[in-house]
Homo-oligomer: A and B are copies of this chain.
Amino acid sequence: MLQDTSLLRIPGPTPIPPSVQRAMDQPMIGHRGIETKELLGRIKPKLKPVFGTEQDVLIMTGSGTSGLETAVVNTTKARDEVLVIVTGSFGDRFAKICEAYQLVVHRLEVTWGEAVDPEQVREFLQKNPQIKVVFATFCETSTGVLNPVAAISKAVHENSDALVVVDGVSCVGGVEAKMDEWEIDMLVTGSQKAMMLPAGLAFVAASKQAWQVIEANQQPRFYLDLRKYRDNLADNSTPFTPALSLLFGLEQALALMEQEGLQKVYERHMTMMAMLRGAITALGIPLLTKTEAASPTVTAIHPENFDPEQLRKQVKQEFGLAIAGGQQHLKGKIIRIGHMGYCAPQDVLQIISLLELGIQRLGKRIALGQGVIAAQEIYLDARREANHDI
């Protein structure tokens, strides 16, 4: 195989756009100098529309999980009762963080591959008004499910005073988030998914209601104390040394999103999801999730006639195409394909043509090209509908 070929299509980390890479290659600067202040000053207003909030989006140096832990330690203290909606392994991680801090954790377990029904959340809160925080996952990366966080938030707020904290790691930037309108109290994401950056930054925004809780909360915390980030960002600064090269990249990634237009970014992700799902269906391969529960950023397929792990190995070795397998009890059973951030319909067509070849190369019969045709037709329909550039 041609060396140096890498088609990174796992659900994060995702490929870095060349201009973002170049931006990150800038010479290092001092983190307390005027350049950093100006950089943060330029970034600050551009993050808000991505979150759909008027609140400042705080920038932390850490992985997405550090953002999730930040949400927990800033909104809760030991023995608080919380509800964690678990639709996959990242919901499970949220619950594990809560358990580590000795919260009283109620898990609302949902079959993996399905979205939570907001009515279940409503019923739970009607019976358990003592719940302090509800933790939900927007896109569950382990299954490709997009949970209805607007409806979840509504169900919570109509029945309790609980805060709604949302893990948006594998979709914010690729899927529209309306944090303020949906009355989400805290929204968290990471840099290495739809934000088109390497891992290393976590982004957290909190509502006014959340800030009241955060201010009053006695939970010990230092690096993850959101108050420090808020007070520093007010002055275009950070409490601790920031990952400056990632901030250079962030400015350019936000510029790319602005140039394309955020609505167009979201449409592109919807089109990619529809193309891939249409292709997989045309090839007669079952999808893990139903259309109404599917995320525009990651798609899970549940093959019956070939071994997912064999296909992953085949396309990696033969084409340099990296796709992900299943986690926990879905390990070895599903394939997850990331189509977010620096990914376009032209890449989805390539992925599909290579999946077709890979399956054929495993010795399985497949109708070559039928996935590509389905995706091409869906693309053309989307273009006709939009009647403008995607």
A: residues with CB less than 8 A from B are: 1-7, 17-20, 25, 256, 259-260, 265, 268, 317-321, 342-347, 349-350, 353-354, 356-357, 360-361, 368-370, 372-373, 376-377, 379-380, 383, 389-390
CB contacts (< 8 Å) of A383 on chain B: these are 361
Measured between beta carbons, the chain B residues less than 8 angstroms from A3 are 17, 19, 256, 259-260
Provide the bound-state CA to CA distance between A213 and B342, in Å: 55
Q: Considering the chains assembled together, what is the distance between the CA atoms of A5 and B320 in angstroms?
A: 19
CB atoms of B319 and A346 under 8 A apart: yes
Pick the contact of A369 from B2, B6, B373 — CB < 8 Å?
B373
Supply 6 further A-B pairs (C-beta < 8 A) apart from A2-B268, A4-B17: A7-B346, A25-B25, A321-B346, A349-B350, A368-B372, A372-B372
- Inside 8 A of A360's CB, which chain B residues have their CB? 376, 380
The 4 closest A-B pairs by CB, nearest first: A369-B373, A350-B350, A4-B17, A349-B353
Report the separation of the CA atoms of residues A354 and B373 in the bound assembly, to the nearest whole angstrom. Answer: 11
Which B residues are in CB contact (< 8 Å) with A390? 1
B380–A357 CB distance below 8 A: yes
Q: What chain B residues lie within 8 Å of A357 (beta carbons)?
A: 349, 376, 379-380
Which residues of B are found within 8 Å of A319, using beta-carbon distances? Answer: 344-346
| Contact in complex: A256, B372 (CB < 8 Å) | no
Residue picked from A268, A347, A353, A390, most chain B C-beta under 10 Å: A353
Shortest Cβ distance from residue A340 to the other chain B in the assembled complex, whole angstroms: 11
Out of B6, B18, B19, B353, name the residue touching A353 (CB < 8 Å).
B353
State the CA gap A18–B7 with chains docked (Å).
12
Question: Is there contact, CB below 8 Å, between B376 and A344?
Answer: no
12 CB-based A-B contacts, threshold 8 Å: A2-B256, A2-B265, A3-B260, A320-B344, A349-B353, A349-B354, A350-B353, A357-B379, A360-B376, A368-B372, A369-B370, A372-B373
Q: Are A376 and B356 in contact (CB under 8 A)?
A: yes
Chain B positions within 8 Å of A318 at CB level = 389
Contacts of A350 in B (CB 8 A): 346-347, 349-350, 353
Taken together as a complex, chains A and B put the C-alpha atoms of A380 and B379 apart, in Å, by 26
Cβ contact within 8 Å between B342 and A346:
no
Specify which of B1, B4, B268, B373 is in contact with A18 (CB 8 Å cutoff): B4
A161 to B: closest C-beta gap in Å: 42
Q: A5-B346, A18-B6 are in contact. Are A380 and B361 (CB under 8 A)?
A: yes
